[in-house]
Amino acid sequence: MTRRRDVIELGDKEALLQPASTKLLLKLIEARRASPGGWEVVPPTTANRKAVSRLREDLRALDPEGRSWIENDGRGRYRLTAACPPINLSTDQGETP
C-alpha cells in the first residue's frame, strides 16, 4: 500500500508531509496572510492534535536549531511564528511506499 506525500523544502533540506499535515500547513499559511495575528482555530480532535504534532516534528527537522515554528495560545488556536522562514511546498510528488 502506498500513501501520497508532499514535499516541503527549506534551503537544502526537505521533509515529506502526510496530507493532513500539508492541509494544516496551508491553513496556517493562509491565516498568517489573512489576519494580523495569524491565528487559525484548530478544533480539538485527536486527528487534529496528531496533525499538529506531526507538522511540528517535520518542521523541526528542517531547522538547524530544532525550532518547530508553530505556536499555540492554549485555547485551540495555532499560528506560524514570526521566525518561520519561507517554505517551498510541492504537492505533486506522487506516492511513496
Sign of CA dihedral 79, 56, 12, 27: negative
Task: Specify whether the CB–CB gap between 88 and 10 falls below 8 A.
Answer: yes
Residue 91's pLDDT is 64
Where residue 85 falls among pLDDT bands split at 50, 70, 90?
confident
How far, rounded to the nearest angstrom, does the alpha carbon of residue 9 sit from its chain's CA centroid? 12
pLDDT tens digits, 57-80: 888 888 878 787 899 998 889 998
Per the confidence metrics, is the pTM higher than 0.75?
yes
pLDDT tens digits, 5-47: 888 887 778 888 888 888 888 889 889 888 888 898 888 888 8
